[in-house]
Amino acid sequence: MTEMTSGIGNSAASRDKAYYLHPYTNLKTHEDVGPLVIERGEGVHVFDDSGKAYIEGMAGLWCTSLGFGEERLVEAATRQLRKLPFYHAFTHKAHDPGIDLAEALIKIAPVPMSKVFFTNSGSEANDTVVKLVWYYNNALGRPHKKKIIARQKGYHGVTVASASLTGLPHLHRDFDLPIAGILHTDCPHFYRYGQEGETEEDFATRLADQLEQLILAEGPETIAAFIAEPVMGAGGVIVPPATYFDKIQPVLKRYDILFIADEVICGFGRTGSMFGTQTYNLQPDIITVAKALSSAYLPIAAVMISEPIYQAMVRQSEKIGTFGHGYTYSGHPVSAAVALETLKIYEERDIVSHVRTVAPHLQDGLRRFRNHPLVGEVRGIGLIAGVEIVADKATKAPFDPKVAIGAHVARFAQEHGLIVRAMGDTIGFSPPLIITSAELDELVAKFGKALDDTVSFVTDKGLAAVA
């Protein structure tokens, strides 16, 4: 043992604190509290190193759609590892799993798409999209049409470009982001930003007008694309207000602006359709997918592009001599094999119909808490939902951010055997798509206990709304 590591215990928690730099974590707090060490999973449950069971109410990170221990995915990976554990797709190389998966995605795409480009994560997919949008406009001889509009509270990843698209301040602060050419328009959250007397449709009209004014102020000849999640995930599970996308899309068409649908969270059944694009009648030019593509069993993501974009890229690569973008693990054969098996399971088990059948147990169950003293809004669709915690229901006033009330709710839920995610003061739910009605009822009951614990905590601490 070296001097540096002397005094470190042998437990997983102590070694974690000694060696592991965690993503999305308060590093100082982690030094004090350490990790929850998860050892195994089964169905919708995970188990920590003491044997305690938890309902995984977030499917990990919105992603383990088929739950834990799906043997068909394990077998698909094992077969492919034995046959061809790796090969790349550079310089005209290919392998069957990558070809088969690209074909399968094009066939189930919610709108006509032409080609699939594989990446390893949603962040990489959206980072790639930025480059493709620039490449496309260069191919069309429009070197100034490069700006991309995202939305406040939108989430698109953590790489330099995708984090710039993300509209959350903590992803920008002290990372020197966003990069130039990334703009953000208003967040479509009616509960928070609707004005007195406005209907949801009025609010949607105002947001579409504000988007158009931003485009005109910047110059339509400089705006290349608009990116949006059908349902905003990490920004707080924000469901679009009525007619929002119906009003946004004509604005984009008017000024020849590409529409990018970020389906990283919504894709493959989460909203009660195979894609959120279908749920909200979107007509994107580019679609990004990840997470549930392989039920998160192995890293893989994809970008689907339309035929006009592909043809422009062909001409440009011919002019330059190559399409100079790609990753070592793009379309990794083992990840692709697992993703293919995942898509087969979705179809064979009709996962989308299952989501529609059981979703009311989540949505109606959580909406029963609307009269709870700490609940400002319950929102969601399919098997994705958010519960916003407030200090004052009448004024919608939040707690002081320093209280981190959402984190306390999540902590109490964990004590009751439920893992959820606090996104600010909104508690997110995104359970595995295989969850049963009974398991959803249990999830809701555990969350209710966490809310009651939070009331006691607020009372004991004398916490109040921000003035």
The DSSP-derived string for 291-313 is GGGGTTSS--EEEEE-HHHHHHH
- In the prediction, which pLDDT does 2 show? 44
For the chain, percent of residues with pLDDT exceeding 90: 96
Residues near 445 by beta carbon (within 8 Å), at least 6 away in sequence: none
Token pair recorded at residue 210: 């504000």
Q: Using CB atoms within 10 Å of the CB of residue 141, give its burial: 0 to 12 exposed, 13 to 18 middle, 19+ buried.
A: exposed
Give per-residue pLDDT as tens, 403-450.
Answer: 999 999 999 999 999 999 999 999 999 999 999 999 999 999 999 999
pLDDT of amino acid 9: 74
Helix axes 333-348, 351-367, angle to 10 degrees: 80
pLDDT class for 464, splitting at 50, 70, 90?
Answer: confident
* Closest C-alpha to 265, from 235, 222, 307: 235
| Model confidence at 190: pLDDT above 80 | yes
Residue 273: pLDDT over 90: yes
Q: Specify the length of the chain in residues.
A: 467
Does 467 have pLDDT greater than 60? no
Closest CA to 335 of 125, 88, 98, 103: 98
Among the listed residues 182, 180, 144, 177, the one whose alpha carbon sits nearest the alpha carbon of residue 165:
182
CA distance 62 to 430: 6
- Asked whether residue 6 carries a pLDDT value surpassing 60, the answer given is no
How many whole angstroms separate alpha carbon 294 and alpha carbon 273?
17
pLDDT at 5 over 50: no
Band (209; pLDDT cuts 50, 70, 90): very high
pLDDT in tens, 151-176: 999 999 999 999 999 999 999 999 99
Q: What's the CATH class of domain 72-348? A: alpha beta
Domain ranges of the chain: 36-69+351-459, 72-348
Res 250 pLDDT > 70: yes
Q: Give the mean pLDDT of 202-225.
A: 98
In the predicted model, is pLDDT for residue 339 greater than 80?
A: yes
How many angstroms separate the Cα of 116 from the Cα of each of 190, 304, 310? 35, 5, 10
pLDDT for the residue numbered 10: 84
CB burial string 338-359: b at 16+ within 10 A, e below: bbbbbbebbeeeebbebbbebb
Query: How far apart (Å, rounded) are the C-alpha atoms in residues 55 and 318?
Result: 52
Q: Is the pLDDT of residue 7 over 80?
A: no
Mean pLDDT for 259-266 is 98
Looking only at the bridges linking them, the beta strands covering 301-305 and 115-119 are antiparallel
Helices (H) and strands (E) in the chain, counts: 16, 15
Tell me the C-alpha to C-alpha distance, in Å, between residue 333 and each of 100, 299, 324, 327, 344. Answer: 10, 11, 21, 13, 16
pLDDT reported for residue 466: 65
What pLDDT does 3 receive?
Answer: 45
Estimate to the nearest angstrom the gap between the alpha carbon of 433 and the chain centroid. Answer: 15
Question: What is the topology classification, in CATH, of domain 36-69+351-459?
Answer: Aspartate Aminotransferase, domain 1 (3.90.1150)
Give the pLDDT confidence score for residue 463 in this predicted structure. 87
Q: d(Cα 301, Cα 80) in Å, to the nearest integer?
A: 18
Quick one: 107 exposed, middle or buried, by C-beta within 10 A (0-12, 13-18, 19+)? Answer: exposed
pLDDT in tens, 347-369: 999 999 999 999 999 999 999 99
**Amino acid identity, residue 413?**
A
Q: How far apart are CA 314 and CA 132, in angstroms?
A: 12
What value does the mean pLDDT take over residues 324-351? Answer: 98
Q: What is the pTM of this model?
A: 0.95
Decide if 36-69+351-459 and 72-348 have a common fold: no
